[in-house]
């Protein structure tokens, strides 16, 4: 097994710790990493963790909490200090919920209390319009959508906050895999939208944290 070299200084530099990407790591690697965190009594977050790996880790680290929808595994030895500011996380459809939850769990892990709004996509525009007053109170918006990925453009034309768009792999035919949504968000007519990689809810949350730390310092 390759040597584990964890960046324990990242939180001091950037304001958030190293997040563990679980999908391509073996059980042995993940156990070794979590041993390092446990020995230091440091909180840990694993993303994109398959359920079968989570079951094994829960046997070794029963203090962990696994969210099967978001595929996140969190160990908290100390509750994160509450952070200032509000991040809204919006989804176009219910099928986008796993990425919404990944973003929300990442934000909660870092001390933020996200506001989540599910299934308010452009196919029923009245659903978004009804939430505009609430969304306008958020400091940053993470907008998650699959298929044609139009929701961030609409939100970007109506609200002035920093908007972080996340394309999802939800869809079929030409929308399969999320590239159609990604291209739509990258070519959006709504100026100033930031775009993450496909299904990168965690990355969107960390981008929001970078913004929030500067604007609420």
Residue 5 confidence (pLDDT) above 90: no
Domain that holds residue 194: 87-215
Domain count, the chain: 2
Report the C-alpha gap between 60 and 82 in whole angstroms.
29
Q: How many CA atoms lie within 13 A of 151 on its CB side?
A: 33
Same domain, 111 and 198: yes
Report the C-alpha gap between 148 and 145 in whole angstroms.
8
Same domain, 59 and 153: no
173 pLDDT tier (thresholds 50, 70, 90) = very high
Is 176 contained in some domain?
yes
pLDDT in tens, 186-203: 999 999 999 999 999 999
Same domain, 106 and 198: yes
**Residue 163 bridge partners (DSSP):** 141
Is 99 contained in some domain?
yes
Its pTM stands at 0.93
The mean predicted confidence, pLDDT, of the chain is: 93
Same domain, 43 and 98: no
At CA 201, angle to CA 54 and CA 182, rounded to 5? 130
Same domain, 34 and 128: no
What torsion do the CA atoms of 150, 152, 154, 158 make, to the nearest 10 degrees? Answer: 180
Same domain, 54 and 141: no
pLDDT in tens, 61-120: 999 999 999 999 999 998 888 888 899 999 999 999 999 999 999 999 999 989 999 999
pLDDT in tens, 40-70: 999 999 999 999 999 999 999 999 999 999 9
Report the C-alpha gap between 57 and 68 in whole angstroms.
13
In 136-178, alpha helices (H): 151-158
Same domain, 149 and 53: no
Same domain, 61 and 113: no
Same domain, 93 and 177: yes
Is 46 contained in some domain?
yes
What DSSP element (H or E) covers 141?
strand 140-145
Same domain, 161 and 94: yes
């Amino acid at each position: 097994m390759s040597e584990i070299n964890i960046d324990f200084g990242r939180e001091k530099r950037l304001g958030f710790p190293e997040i563990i990407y679980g999908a391509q790591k073996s059980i042995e690697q993940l156990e070794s990493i979590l041993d390092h965190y446990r020995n230091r009594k440091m909180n840990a977050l694993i993303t994109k963790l398959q359920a079968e790996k989570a079951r094994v880790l829960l046997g070794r680290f029963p203090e962990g909490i696994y969210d099967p929808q978001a595929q996140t595994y969190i160990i908290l030895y100390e509750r994160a200090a509450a952070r200032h500011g509000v991040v809204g996380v919006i989804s176009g459809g219910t099928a986008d919920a796993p990425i919404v939850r990944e973003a929300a769990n990442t934000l909660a892990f870092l001390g933020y209390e996200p506001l989540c709004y599910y299934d308010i996509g452009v196919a029923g525009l009245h659903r978004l319009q009804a939430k505009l007053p609430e969304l306008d109170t958020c400091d940053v918006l993470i907008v998650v959508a699959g298929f044609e990925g139009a929701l961030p453009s609409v939100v970007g034309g109506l609200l002035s906050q920093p908007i972080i768009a996340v394309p999802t792999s939800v869809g079929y035919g030409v929308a399969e895999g999320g590239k159609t949504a990604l291209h739509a968000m990258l070519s959006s007519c709504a100026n100033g939208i930031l775009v993450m990689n496909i299904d990168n809810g965690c990355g969107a949350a960390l981008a929001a944290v970078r913004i929030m730390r500067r604007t609420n310092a």
